[in-house]
Chains A and B, each alone.
Chain A
Amino acid sequence: MLHGILTLLLFQFIGECISKFFELKIPGAIIGMVLLLLFLVIKKGSFHALDSSVFWLLRYLPLFIIPAAAGIITQVETISNELFAILASLIFGTFLALAFSAKLMDSLISRKEKR
């Protein structure tokens, strides 16, 4: 498990360093994630310690989100000022985007299978 956590921290660290050094606008953790993905593809597989660390971290992911998410209590003014715009955007935007993506993918698959 320690080996797995160390691997994740190391990839995050390398990602952050690359982001800072090359002045990239992409968050370092994202670069770390892409590098780990490449590493797994090249290595053609994961290892047990990494599997168990990832399982633990992703299992409790919502817990790690709460500190930042709770900041919503400082945003009451913004939300109440623009409540209608926000609700309309979330409800119709999500409906349209879900319909668009599902229909697009479905027809692309159907076309491919007909050939």
Chain B
Amino acid sequence: MNIDALIAYVTSTPLTWIIITISAYKIGVLIYEKNGKHALLQPIVIAYIIMLPILIVAQIPYKQYFESVSILHFFLGPATVALALPLYKNLKLIQAYFFPILITLFAGGVFTILSALGILWLFDASKITMLSMTTKSVTAPITLITAQDIGAIPSLAMGFVVITGLLGALFGTFVFKLLNIKHDAAKGFALGLISHAVGTARAFEISENAAAFAALAMGLVGVFIAVLLPIVIGLL
């Protein structure tokens, strides 16, 4: 028996961190499903709660962790391309409300960026925080891919995305009651537009129709902001 060889293997193989990461996510999925898929118990949030203390206690440099699990990160690219399919399947919804969708997409997409930046500006926040805030309403894979290109910090931007998703799902019912929103299409579209996948999960609890509009909004605003931001920031 060679305990040193064992320790050397366990601390150096990527398998260790891949297994821990997939387990953390799996636990997240189990908790999410056990609680009737409640929109606020997103598997990613539970995975965060499990993973972060482990990384801190293990004192592993983040760069080393990232390299170990880079095989998982690789799939973000094809997953972004894959978003074309749900977008395609919901594209026919555009015909019913062409101008309401187009106007809300552009106005809402710009509003969600400017309102967040305006508040940060009032508090005199740093430039890097402001850049990382610009993708807060964009679905996670597109955020991570875009954040690198615009000089934001991907992990910070990702944190903002997750919280924006949860807040949108949390505020949804209250906001819709307060403003007397009548159409499920408008509720769903706003949820998907502002709170991406978490908003879409929340929209499923309203109706199938709301969820379809949420999925449509999520895809459209992701492309809109990912195309708009690099161009606008390039001009500044």
User: Chain A residues in contact with chain B, CB under 8 A?
Assistant: 5, 8-9, 11-12, 15, 25-27, 29-30, 32-34, 36-37, 40-41, 46, 50-51, 53-54, 57-58, 60-75, 78-79, 81-82, 84-86, 88-106, 108-110, 112
Contact of A32 among B75, B80, B155, B189 (CB under 8 A): B80
Contact B62 A64, beta carbon cutoff 8 Å = no
Give Cα A15 to B191, complex, Å: 29
Q: What A residues does B185 contact at CB under 8 A?
A: 105, 109
Contact of B141 among A61, A78, A86 (CB under 8 A): A61
Contact B88 A99, beta carbon cutoff 8 Å = no
Q: Which 3 residue pairs spanning A and B have beta carbons closest together?
A: A71-B155, A85-B123, A25-B230
Q: What A residues does B204 contact at CB under 8 A?
A: none
Contact A26 B230, beta carbon cutoff 8 Å = yes
Contact B154 A85, beta carbon cutoff 8 Å = no
User: Chain B residues in contact with chain A, CB under 8 A?
Assistant: 21-22, 24-25, 28, 42-44, 47-48, 51-52, 55-56, 62, 65-66, 69-70, 72-88, 91, 97, 99-101, 103-104, 107-108, 111-112, 115-120, 123-126, 128-129, 133, 136-137, 140-142, 144-146, 148-149, 153-156, 158-160, 162-164, 167-168, 171-172, 175-176, 178-179, 181-183, 185-187, 189-191, 193-195, 197, 223, 226-227, 230-231, 234
